């Protein structure tokens, strides 16, 4: 009986410890929501740094990070020179949101769904880039379509989307993004290896239609 009590105590201490560290939180969320996490390990620092390097050179507009997770890419964006006030991190998982807010108190972390992005960010504010860690390959097609449609609306004025995927071929969602791919890079120092793609949504704004006479 005493051995069972000691074992239970150790199990509870281990569980409590895992909840306080990023890998533990990641594993907990992976078990709870495997389809939403879409990976077996957190993103590596190598992947995060390459994601940050794809940002445009100017400081014009907000940077929106989707799927902040454990904060590896958030840290890389800040280290790359993105000012905290220019960064918005959208995360759906409550444990991840709590950890991100504790780790980055100067960054606005939004608890919400990336499929509702337009409703989560300020209106009439220029978005320079969307940096996405969303598992587009494992999301349902209607949700993926909704996400990509919002990217087109938010980034049509010269913004870019930076998305990584573990599918090194041609993921199904690529046929629906309707943009110009301007860069692609495989990061082998990640588990599993990942491909980073950068897309431009720049398009000329259509003029208002002229009044027609009947």
**How far is residue 178's CA from residue 170's CA, in Å, rounded to a whole number?**
14
| Dist. CA 145–CA 120, nearest whole Å | 18
Alpha-carbon span 79 to 75, nearest angstrom: 6
Q: How many whole angstroms separate alpha carbon 182 and alpha carbon 200? A: 7
CA 178 to chain centroid, in Å, comes to: 19
Domain boundary assignment for the chain: 31-200
Q: Between residues 52 and 21, which one has the greater pLDDT?
A: 52
pLDDT in tens, 21-45: 445 444 444 444 444 444 446 678 9
What digits encode the pLDDT tens for the residues 160-207? 999 999 998 889 999 889 899 999 999 998 989 999 999 998 764 444
Q: Report the distance separating Cα 141 and Cα 143, nearest Å.
A: 5
The CATH number of domain 31-200 is 3.40.50.150: yes
Burial of 129 (0-12, 13-18, 19+ CB in 10 A): buried
């Amino acid at each position: 009986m005493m051995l069972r009590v000691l074992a239970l105590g150790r199990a509870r201490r281990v569980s409590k410890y895992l909840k306080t560290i990023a890998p533990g939180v990641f594993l907990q969320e992976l078990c709870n929501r495997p389809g939403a996490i879409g990976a077996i390990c957190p993103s590596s620092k190598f992947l995060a740094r390459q994601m940050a390097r794809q940002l445009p050179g100017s400081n014009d507009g907000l940077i929106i990070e989707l799927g902040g997770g454990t904060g590896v890419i958030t840290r890389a964006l800040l280290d790359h020179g993105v000012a905290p006030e220019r960064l918005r991190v959208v995360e759906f998982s409550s444990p991840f949101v709590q950890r991100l807010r504790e780790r980055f108190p100067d960054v606005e972390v939004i608890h919400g769904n990336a499929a509702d992005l337009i409703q989560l960010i300020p209106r009439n504010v220029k978005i320079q880039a969307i940096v996405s860690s969303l598992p587009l390959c494992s999301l349902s097609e209607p949700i993926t379509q909704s996400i990509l449609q919002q990217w087109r609306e938010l980034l049509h004025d010269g913004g870019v989307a930076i998305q990584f995927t573990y599918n090194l071929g041609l993921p199904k969602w690529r046929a629906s993004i309707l943009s110009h791919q301007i860069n692609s890079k495989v990061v082998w120092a990640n588990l599993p290896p990942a491909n980073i793609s950068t897309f431009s949504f720049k398009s000329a704004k259509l003029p208002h239609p002229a009044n027609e006479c009947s």
